[in-house]
Amino acid sequence: AVGIIAAQSIGEPGTQLTMRTFHTGGVAEVFGRVDITSGLPRVEELFEARVPKGAATIAEIDGKAELIRDGERRTLLITNTEMYRDEYTVPKGAKVVVKTGDKVEQGDILAAPKATRKKAADKKTTAKKTKKAADKEKAIIAAEEGLIARTSGEVAVERGGRIAVIFEEEESRDYVIPAASHLHVHDGDAVHAGQPLTDGPLNPQDILGIQGPEAVQMYLVEEVQKVYRAQGVTINDKHIEVIVRQMLRRVRIDSPGDTALLPGQLVDRFRYEETNAKVLAEGGEPATAQPVLLGVTKASLNTESFLAAASFQETTRVLTEAAISGQVDKLLGLKENVIIGKLIPARTEVHVEMPPVTILELPAALMAQIEAPDAEGNQGDAGGANGGLAAELKALANKDDTGGKTAADEKPVAATADEVKD
């Protein structure tokens, strides 16, 4: 099993790693890193998804950095400004009352109706008016009331009877920087989401929330490899990736939609996708969820198999909860099959679904020879040469699609034809 091979590939070289967390004696205090975790404790810290000591502050949004000093207190403000356009179509018969470059507030009039326009309120309509008449009335009402700005901003009058209001939306985040931390950015620098602002190790949970699952997977693999490379140990990335994949196999339900899932429930990612696919096929609303990073201990306890979880830790609690909720173990993994003494679901051959074998109808003359009695009076599958051939053809015709072999599989068709002639 790939999981066991991965654990052995990581654990065996782990015996060569250092077992200590050393103190720098004040040398690194200037940069905010006093205790540096390395060696085996660092690998354990990564695989358990723990918050590291002296974790770095990470930018949550893209933007421009501004350093604000208040005595000894330092605050880093990141501001992101986005420009938007709100476009309007000037109603027929209305006059534009603004020009390009004007500043307008929400509710200001952009285009006013002409004084000669007849009021829409005086227009009598019937209950059975056509769509064309209804659209015409809407245009008249818009011209009577004028074109109103929905947002505040700067006006841009364009050709074709269109007006655009250009406005900006500002998003900001502020971070209090500890006095002992060393800043990686300066006043006025452009930063991107996920960029470390201070010195120190990164928190994998922050990377997951800001940059997503793929970024945290790459970070964990690279950080584990750094520890082993420092000791001169070479490990293939695939072994670490197998473990990291299990750490990100769960999602937390935000909104259940039309599914039977519960808000806040931890669900296997494949079960979540399968449930949503069924609901979408039935025309329902799918559930929404967020990926969750679990340490290997919690990931093992949150497996679908309660037998595998009980064999790891907290046996009493796991078995009690399984009994109360009426869980069913489908015995798809290694540990649960070993526990009950069943063959493990692991093999080296590849099972290929083969189409069923179809034998075409044989010529009448050949069938007559097959069914004819031999010298001893035996006929068909009762015995004799012809009987043996009939039995083989019958077995071949009845062969299922499981790929099982019969005597006809090993006997060429030409040989059987010669046997019939003899």
Q: What is the pLDDT of residues 287-315, one digit of tens each?
A: 999 999 999 888 877 788 888 888 888 88
Q: What is the pLDDT of residue 361?
A: 58
Q: What is the pLDDT of residue 20?
A: 52
Cα–Cα distance, 238 to 225 (Å, whole number): 11
Q: What is the pLDDT of residue 290?
A: 94
Q: pTM of the entire structure?
A: 0.61
* 3-state secondary structure at position 139: helix
Domain with CATH 1.10.1790.20 in the chain: 2-55+200-246
Cα–Cα distance, 351 to 109 (Å, whole number): 73
More confident residue, 356 or 85: 85
139 pLDDT above the threshold of 60: no
- At position 117, the amino acid (one-letter code) is R
Q: What is the pLDDT of residue 273?
A: 93
- At position 66, the amino acid (one-letter code) is E
Residue with tokens 């489908």: 330
Sheet with 94-96, side-by-side order of all strands: 94-96, 109-113, 147-148
Q: What is the pLDDT of residue 220?
A: 94
CB count within 10 Å of CB 339 equals: 15
Q: What is the pLDDT of residue 120?
A: 40
Helices 213-230, 237-247: axis angle to 10 degrees equals: 140
Contact 370, 389 (CB under 8 A): yes
88-92, 218-222, 304-308, 344-348: least confident range: 344-348
List, in sequence order, every residue forming a beta bridge with 156; answer none if it has no partner. 164
Exposed e or buried b per residue across 212-242, where buried means at least 16 C-beta atoms within 10 angstroms of its C-beta: ebeebbebbbebbbebbeeeeeebeeebbbb
Burial class (CB in 10 A: 0-12, 13-18, 19+), 413: exposed
Q: What is the pLDDT of residue 408?
A: 43
Q: What is the pLDDT of residue 128?
A: 42
Mean pLDDT of 177-183: 83
Q: What percent of the chain has pLDDT over 90?
A: 16
Q: What is the pLDDT of residue 71?
A: 79
Q: What is the DSSP letter of 331?
A: -
| Alpha helices (H) along 98-157 | 131-145
- Alpha carbon of residue 419 to chain centroid: 62
168 pLDDT above the threshold of 90: no
Cα–Cα distance, 222 to 294 (Å, whole number): 18
213 pLDDT above the threshold of 90: yes
Which of the listed ranges 28-42, 334-348, 402-416 does the model predict with the highest average pLDDT? 334-348
List, in sequence order, every residue forming a beta bridge with 190; answer none if it has no partner. 64
Q: What is the pLDDT of residue 310?
A: 87
377 pLDDT above the threshold of 90: no
Q: What is the pLDDT of residue 136?
A: 46
Q: What is the pLDDT of residue 18?
A: 64
Helices 384-397, 413-421: axis angle to 10 degrees equals: 150
33 pLDDT above the threshold of 60: no
Residue 393 has phi, psi (to 5 degrees) of: -65, -35
Burial class (CB in 10 A: 0-12, 13-18, 19+), 185: middle
Q: How confident is the model at residue 417 (pLDDT cuts 50, 70, 90)?
A: very low
Mean pLDDT of 394-404: 52
Q: How confident is the model at residue 363 (pLDDT cuts 50, 70, 90)?
A: low
Q: What is the pLDDT of residue 148?
A: 84
22-26, 216-220, 390-394: least confident range: 22-26
Q: What percent of the chain has pLDDT over 70?
A: 69
228 pLDDT above the threshold of 60: yes
Pairing of strands 250-255, 190-191: unpaired
Backbone torsion region of residue 176, taken as left when φ is above 0, otherwise alpha when ψ lies between -120 and 50, otherwise beta: beta
Contact 220, 208 (CB under 8 A): no
Q: Which residues, at least 6 apart from 263, have a Cβ–Cβ distance to it below 8 Å? A: 253, 254, 255, 256
Q: How confident is the model at residue 397 (pLDDT cuts 50, 70, 90)?
A: low
Q: Which pair of structure tokens corresponds to residue 277?
A: 């696919």
Mean residue pLDDT of the chain comes to 76
* 3-state secondary structure at position 105: coil
Cα–Cα distance, 332 to 303 (Å, whole number): 11
118 pLDDT above the threshold of 60: no
* 3-state secondary structure at position 191: strand
Cα–Cα distance, 240 to 204 (Å, whole number): 15
Cα–Cα distance, 38 to 45 (Å, whole number): 10
Residue 222 has phi, psi (to 5 degrees) of: -65, -40
Cα–Cα distance, 391 to 370 (Å, whole number): 10
**2-55+200-246 sits in which CATH class?**
mainly alpha
Contact 232, 13 (CB under 8 A): no
Which of the listed ranges 35-39, 143-147, 336-340 does the model predict with the highest average pLDDT? 336-340
63-77, 139-153, 209-223: least confident range: 139-153
| Alpha helices (H) along 146-281 | 204-211, 213-230, 237-247, 269-281
Taking CA atoms, 412 is separated from 128, 405, 415, 417, 422, in Å, by: 83, 13, 5, 9, 16
More confident residue, 160 or 343: 343
281 pLDDT above the threshold of 90: yes
